Amino acid sequence: TGSIPHQTAREVATILRAHSALGEEILTAQGLFTFYADRFLPFGASHPGWYLEERVGTVPTELRRLFLPDKEVLRRAMREKPIRLVAIDRRTREVYFNYDPEMQALLKSEYHLLETVPSPYEEDPVEIWIKND
């Protein structure tokens, strides 16, 4: 869980459950959120941090492709609505958004901030974004 307390993860999960269907995929690098919400990470990703590891050169692209699709596939899922919710903590920012201006722009244009949950060991709260109708 890194620096996410279980209570924070449960609060995030409560919000995710209230705004999603059972088994729905939610974009986050924090698997504890989806575990508590009984939801899934997109594409069955068990280690989305590999996107960041690939960027810094510790995971070869060929290896990452065995387990995770290219980022363009992820962007398409965000644009075309299979991914309706995004839960952003520090790790999710690092993995998906900090080094990807296209993902940042997509989040800001296609989604709006639904709610935040304070996280006592993080500078920023966990942000929950939902797809615009």
Domain chopping of the chain, boundaries: 6-131
What are the Cα distances from residue 31, in Å, to 26, 62, 101, 132?
10, 23, 23, 24
pLDDT in tens, 64-107: 988 889 989 999 999 988 899 999 999 999 999 998 999 999 99
Q: Residue 49 and residue 53: Cα distance in Å, rounded?
A: 6
Q: What is the model's pLDDT at position 2?
A: 65
- Ordered strands of the 111-117 beta sheet: 26-27, 85-88, 126-131, 111-117
Q: For the chain, first and last CA: distance in Å?
A: 32
pLDDT surpasses 60 at 1: no
Residues near 15 by beta carbon (within 8 Å), at least 6 away in sequence? 114, 115, 117, 128
